Copies of this chain bind each other. A is one copy, B any other.
Amino acid sequence: MTDMQNQKLKGSFKLTRVGVKYVKKPVTVKRPNVEVTLIVDFDLYVDLPAELKGSHLSRNLEVLSRVIDESVREPVSGLEDLGSKICQELLVRHEYATCSEVHMSADYFLERGKSNGNTSLESYKLKASAESIRNGQTRKCIGVEVIGMTACPCAMEEVRIRQGIEDDNVALSITHNQRNVTSLSLEVPADRPLEADKLIQIVEKCLSSPTYEILKRADEAQVVIDAHSNPKFVEDVVRDVLHEVLEQYKDLPDDVKVSVKSESYESIHKHNAYAERDTTMGELRA
């Protein structure tokens, strides 16, 4: 029987990535004290050599299904570990490929509260990825996307000047503030697991203020006061996250990749403000 994908080609081109996008699957992740069901979006790719007509795309889905099934018996402790297994398995099943790649995204929830009586589950996004090279390394990353709040330090200063406020002790000055989305992604060394919860904590600490689902009036005022006591540009958010990463992950090796992005839905503009740094632990330490 013909296997069309296996047809040999002459004078053709290799392809960088061939695979499937937007595959949804429930996945259970197990940690020492908690078990979470995540609804995960997967994109899976391998490369394709010039002489082969097609990649066997159904193998991607079989690999995905099997690795997730196995995770029921032998639980994974994080999406990045699941991705790592999938990448290695993709290279086994696609014997012609030299590299594989998986991207994952899922809603995630943590309990938060401004004051005692009003905790609630706040929503975040997990973003994990992994890539394998045949006979080489598998590298994996775990990332988080956090919605929070920024208050603009520049408009605050301008208003103070306009209003002739010189004394720093008077009431906080007004400024524009807005919803902000900041993401932090770290490469995860093979022998050094990282906690997504801690990444979320780092980002929330670096915003003008975290945001909360349930805020009774006194709490609402406190969040507003917190944010105005702590005004931040998107540039500040990215840099403060980088500082915090350096501080909290002293043991991570120099080649570990770090990526931080911060985007503010500016309340005074129709467009967004954006800042980003793609780097490594080594470059940050330099």
Contact = CB atoms under 8 A, between A and B. Distances in A.
Contacts of A158: 217-218, 220-221, 224
A62 B149 contact: no
Identical copies in the complex: 4
A233 B56 CA distance: 11
A185 to B, nearest CB: 14
Number of chain A interface residues as a range = 35 or more
Interface stretch (A83-91, A133-141, A166-174, A191-199): A166-174
A241 to B, nearest CB: 10
Contacts of A19: 273-274
A21 B174 CA distance: 25
B178 A234 contact: no
Interface string A54-85: 11011001100100000000000000000000
A155 B5 CA distance: 11
A100 interface: no
Interface string A29-51: 00000000101000101001000
A15 B221 contact: no
A213 B5 CA distance: 18
Residue with the highest number of chain B CB atoms closer than 10 Å, among A121, A157, A236, A268: A268
Contacts of A15: 235, 238-239, 275-277
A234 B2 CA distance: 19
Residue with the highest number of chain B CB atoms closer than 10 Å, among A23, A222, A242: A23
Interface in A151-166: 153-155, 157-159, 161-163, 165
B268 A225 contact: no
A21 B275 contact: no
Given A154-B4, A239-B13, A276-B16, A270 B223 contact: no
A19 B264 CA distance: 11
A38 to B, nearest CB: 8
Contact of A271 (B12, B21, B159, B173): B21
A25 interface: yes
B154 A220 contact: yes
A169 to B, nearest CB: 12
Interface in A252-286: 263, 265-279, 284
Interface of A: 1-2, 4-5, 12-26, 37, 39, 43, 45, 48, 53-55, 57-58, 61-62, 65, 107, 109, 118, 120-123, 147, 149, 153-155, 157-159, 161-163, 165, 170-179, 209, 211-218, 220-225, 227-228, 233-236, 238-239, 242-243, 263, 265-279, 284
Given A22-B271, A213-B271, 4 more contacts: A16-B279, A123-B270, A176-B223, A211-B270
